[in-house]
Each structure stands twice: as C-alpha cells, then as structure tokens.
Amino acid sequence: MKKAILSFVLSVLLNVVFAQANLPADYLSKEFHKGRRDEFRKLMPTNSVAVIFAYPERTFSRDISYQYHPNPDLYYLSGYKESNAVLLIFKESQQANNLQYNELIFVRDRDKLAETWTGRRLGIEGTKEKLGFSVVYTTKEFNNFPINFKNFTTVLSAGIPTDIKNDNSGYDLAGLLKTFREKAAVSDEERTLHNLQQRLATNTNMQNLEQMIAGIKRTAVNNEKILNDSYIQQLMAKPDSVQLEAIKLKLLSQKDGMDFYREIITALRQIKTAEEMVVFRKAIKISAIAHTEAMKAVTADMSENEVDGIHRYIHKKYGAEDEGYPTIVGAGANGCILHYGENNNTKIDNQLLLMDVGAEYHGYSADITRTVPANGKFTAEQKAIYELVYEAQEAVFKLCKEGTPFGNLNKKSTEILANGLLKLGVIKEYGEVRTYYPHGCSHYLGLDVHDIGDNLGLKENMVITVEPGIYIPAGSNCDKKWWNIGVRIEDDVLIGRDNFEILSIDAARKWDDVEKVTREKSRLNDINLPKL
Ligand code: GLY
Ligand code: MN
Ligand code: MN
C-alpha cells in the first residue's frame, strides 16, 4: 500500500515536472511585474487608484473567439494574460475584509468544465503563486467588494472600452465595467466636460472662437457640468486674445484620471528595462531570421501568402506566439499599399517584394521590413529607389541617441528622400515628396507595435523603428519606368546615451547583400507536396 502511495505521489510529481518542462522558461518574472507596479505607484497622485481592465474577447465565428490577446498594460503591470480581469493599484495602503493591501487583482475563477473546452486558468491560487499577488479575488467578487471609487481624488484609467462582448453573466468584462461605472467617481458627464476642455484648449484661437462657442452650445445640451464650468463660461463670454491664452493655459493644466494614467504608463513603458530587453531582443532576432529565410526561399513562382507562411513558420519554430500585427507581403503594385494585408497575389513573378513582418514573442513585438527582388536582381530603377531609402535610413540612424527630438527623425528622412527624388526626376518640387513618402519615419516599439511614447526627446533604452519608404503606384505623375516600385526598409533600434544599436541587423539591408541572400538556396524550396 505504502508503495502504491509512493508511486502515485511520484507520478504526480513527475507529471508536474514534465508538464512544466515543456513550457517556456523565459517569461518576464513576477518580480519584474511587481517592480513595474511599484514604479507606477510612485508616480500616482495623492489619494488615487488606478484601474486596468483586461482586453475584451472577440468573435471569430459564431461561438468561436479569436485567439485572445492580452491588454499590454495589464500584462506589463501584472503578467496576467487571461480575459475578464481587473487590476487595481492604490497610491496609499488600503484596508478591507480585515486585509491590508496596496494592490488588488480580480481574475477569472477556475472552472473545470470551461477549462476542458478553452484551456487552463490561473485562478486565485495560480495568480498568487505564479504572479506573486498577495490579495486576489475572482471577478464575481468585484461587484460586492467594499470599495468606493468616489472616496479617491483621482481614478486613473485608460478609459472604458465600448466595443465589448457581453455574455450577460455579470462576471465577464461587461459585468466588471458595469460595476465600475456604478462605483466610479467619474461620470460620463465629467468625462465629456474634460474632453471638451482639452479640445478647446488645443484648438481655439481668435479666428475660430465663434465657431467653437457654437460647438460648446451643441455639446452642452443636457450637460449641467459643462454649462456650470467656470472656464467654459469664460470662453462663452468671448474673451480677448490675452484672456483667451490665459484660459487655454489653465485648461491644459487640468489633468483628469485618463491624463494621469496615460502620462505614467507612457513614462514607464517607453523606457525598456534590462529584463524586458532579453525577451524583446529574441522577438527581433527571430523576425530577422525569418526575413533571411524568406529572402532565401522566395521565387517568382511563389504566392504572397506562401511567403507570409514562411515567416510565420519560422516565428513558431522559435516559440513566438504570434505576429505583432497583420503581416504585409506585397509584390509590385501591392508593395505600394502601406498596410497591404490581403497577401493574396498567387504569383509574385519577377517583381519587387515588400515584406513587413514582425514576430510577437512573450508579448514583445518586432517590426521589420525588407524589400527584395524576387529573382535576385534589382532593376536599375528599383536599385536607385532602394539606395535612396537606404541613404535616408543611414542618416536617421546617426540621430538615434539620447537628446534628439523625436520630430527630427522624420525631418531628416524627408529631407534626404525629397532631395533624392528631385535628383532622380521623380518629383519636380520639394513638397511633392509627401506623395511618395506619406508616413512618418519612426514610432516607438515594444509590447505594442505602435508603442506608447511621449514624442519628445529620445532617451536611453527606448526602442524605435527607423522606416523610411518610397511608394510609386502606377499612374503616378512621373516617368512610367518608376511605376509600381514600393520600397520600405525598416529596422528596430535601441537608443543609447551616445550611440544606437540596430537590433534587427541580422536581416540583410544593403542592396548587394539583399541580392546575395535572395539568390541563396533554401531547403524550404525542396518541399514537394501533392497537387490539388
Ligand atoms: N508594420 C507597421 C509599421 O511598420 O508601422
Ligand atoms: Mn513600423
Ligand atoms: Mn512595419
């Protein structure tokens, strides 16, 4: 009997060990997430609480949901990756139910039946053990939890999402939000007032004052808060230009919970910690390898979709869970569509192929674009445009260090592309450059592909993209020889105090390196599948 018990215990232990052994071991640690909450708390105003909801689930097909994607803010601050949850961070220590706490998380309850259908849940115990929270409740308990948001001076939140599914249980995200609205200090009227104030502060001038006043009158119908607000009343009284500027300054300094939340989460997330960079570098490295393998494998006979599949296969081979955004694989004319997502051209042919693809690894997203000739050789015109985009990218890299104003990156790339296009005769006036370069040069990168950032001066340990491009669709007002050339080169760059690092350097960039890799053989071309 003893032996039987021992072997049972052993088998349970081994099961646990083996089950764990097959899971990735390089997730961010619970200490990381706790550290982020502590930093967030330090920046919160006195007597405040931050409320961070999970992202909604989305319908893919009738009773099937899309693969769930966590809210990056909630993931960053807690590590919790499931739906129907809410995290509360308090500035000051709180007390309820005989417990002392400065953070609370309400999570999905364990449910044996549901878990056999849609997967394992952490539940209360898992959230305590794996994520290191000491006070955890189920979402069912949020409704009756003794918290009065009206007792806080500021309730920090990203805002309440409106496009959510409601399973009418009262315990899903819709239920949590309903309860929050009931308990919340901020009414819809107050939020409308604040949004209006910020709009007025940013957009009003002496020329459009009358128009703005008319707009206020329309918005103010049935909103006592707006009608009674002293700043709004001062604006309605038609101030002179000096008075107007003073009112605008006062309005801009009025921060609400959404402003505080945005400022704090941006200040944190835009600077990457060493622990994040370990995971983030993997996302980018995987993507660079995928680009290299796709370059090697691409042939004129392939479809865009097949190339898309090569990227995804390599991502998964290295353990990336997802792509950070819908993949863009566009040949010829399709390469001129900035966020082309159909990827359904069945024959790439001897065209230029633009691939903008990035893996998401443990939440962090790469964002890399390579543009390659499917047959391994650029035409003279393709090469001229490619080299110009490359030159712009090189010039912007040099600005990638602490202190550079974010706006200077786009200014520099625009200047180089405009002068180059003038020289090639593609444009006749400097301003025409926007026709062929209609997007910005850079954005922040991280848990979101278009990550949050303050757009001010670059700082050490920010990660940004550098992605100049030129797109000349057929019918453009230039010589036909340029038509259907779309080139973007996009790399992911870590900002240093006095230098930069191209994290995506493993994917060939220079035109001759690109040609060389594209002509290399790939084992993927040897796969022989039956014909349909
Ligand atoms: N892949 C989207 C972008 O480059 O911004
Ligand atoms: Mn990008
Ligand atoms: Mn991109």
CATH number of the domain that 105 lies in?
3.40.350.10
Q: Residues 240, 353: one domain?
A: no
Shared domain check, 226 and 135: no
Find the domain containing 36 and state its range.
25-184
Work out which ligand 1 atom sits closest to the CA atom of 325: 1
Distant-in-sequence, close-in-space partners of 28: CB < 8 Å, separation ≥ 6: 79, 275, 276, 279, 362, 363
Ligand nearest to the CA of 291: 3
Q: Is residue 103 part of a domain?
A: yes
Q: Do 286 and 251 fall within a single domain?
A: no
> What's the pLDDT at 252?
86
Q: At 303, is the secondary structure helix, strand, or coil? A: coil
In a domain, 36, yes or no: yes
- Residues around the ion ligand 3 (C-beta < 5 A): 356, 367, 490
Is 375 in the same domain as 471? yes
* Structure tokens that stand for 394 in this block: 């090189």
For residue 15, what pLDDT band results from cuts at 50, 70 and 90? Answer: very low
Q: Are 78 and 131 in contact (CB under 8 A)?
A: yes
Among 151, 184, 217, the domain-final residue is 184
Looking at ligand 1, which atom is closest to the CA of residue 443? 5
**Of the candidates 213, 242, 260, which is a domain's last residue?**
260
| 5 inside domain | no
Lowest mean pLDDT among 44-58, 86-100, 168-182, 442-456: 168-182
Q: Domain total for the chain? A: 3
Question: Looking at the structure, do residues 373 and 457 belong to the same domain, yes or no?
Answer: yes
Residues 467 and 325 grouped into a single domain: yes
How much distance in Å is there from the Cα of 308 to the middle of ligand 3?
14
Task: Please check whether residue 7 lies inside any domain of the structure.
Answer: no
pLDDT band at 180 (very low <50, low <70, confident <90, very high): confident
Report the pLDDT averaged over residues 353-362: 98
Of 184, 213, 248, which residue is a domain's last?
184
pLDDT in tens, 272-294: 999 999 999 999 999 999 999 99
**Residues 253, 115 within the same domain:** no
Cβ–ligand 1 contact at 467 (below 6 Å):
yes
Which residue's CA lies nearest to atom 2 of ligand 1?
367
pLDDT of residue 161: 64
Q: Is residue 328 part of a domain?
A: yes
**What residues flank ion ligand 2 with Cβ within 5 A?**
367, 465
SS3 524: helix
Q: Is the CB of 448 under 6 A from ligand 1?
A: no
d(CA 340, CA 351): 16
Mean pLDDT value across residues 156-182: 80
Q: In the structure, what pLDDT confidence band is assigned to residue 271 with cuts at 50, 70 and 90?
A: very high
Asked if residue 344 is part of any domain, the answer here is yes
Which pLDDT does position 4 carry in this prediction?
A: 53
Does the C-beta of 360 come closer than 6 Å to ligand 1?
no
Quick one: pLDDT at residue 199?
87
**CA–CA dist 268, 428 (Å, integer):** 44
The model's confidence at residue 5, banded by pLDDT at 50, 70 and 90, is: low
Helices assigned H by DSSP within 204-360: 209-220, 224-228, 230-236, 241-252, 257-269, 274-297, 304-317
Q: Give yes or no: residues 256 and 313 share one domain.
A: no
CA of 488 relative to ligand 2 center, distance in Å: 10
Same structural domain for residues 390 and 517?
A: yes
pLDDT band, very low/low/confident/very high, at 16 (cuts 50, 70, 90) = very low
Mean pLDDT for all residues in the chain: 92
For a ligand 1 pocket test, name from 308, 322, 329, 339 the mutation site with the most ligand atoms within 8 angstroms of its C-beta: 339
Judge if 149 and 212 occupy the same domain: no
Whether 491 is in the pocket of ligand 1, judged by its Cβ within 6 Å, is no
Residue 2 is predicted with a pLDDT of 52
Mutate to test the pocket of ligand 1, among 323, 355, 467, 487 (most ligand atoms within 8 A of CB): 467
| Residue 307 belongs to a domain | yes
Residue 225 shares a structural domain with residue 139: no
- Work out whether the CA dihedral 476, 479, 483, 488 comes out positive or negative: negative
The pLDDT value given to residue 186: 60
We report the CATH number of the domain holding residue 325 as 3.90.230.10
The predicted structure's pLDDT at residue 113: 97
Distance of CA 286 from the midpoint of ligand 3 (Å) = 15
* pLDDT interval class at 3 (50, 70, 90): low
More confident residue, 166 or 245: 245
pLDDT, tens digit, 9 for 90 and up, residues 384-430 = 999 999 999 999 999 999 999 999 999 999 999 999 999 999 999 99
- Domain co-membership, 362 together with 395: yes
Please state whether beta strands 136-138 and 500-502 pair in parallel, antiparallel, or not at all (unpaired).
Answer: unpaired
Per the domain annotation, does 11 fall within a domain? Answer: no
By most ligand atoms within 8 Å of CB, the mutation choice from 354, 368, 369 for ligand 1 is 369
Cα(414)–Cα(338) distance, integer angstroms: 17
**22: exposed, middle or buried (Cβ count in 10 Å: 0-12, 13-18, 19+):** exposed
449 alpha carbon – ligand 2 mean position (Å): 7
> From ligand 3's centre to the CA of 431, what distance in Å?
24
Q: How far is the CA of 104 from the centre of ligand 2 (A)?
A: 35
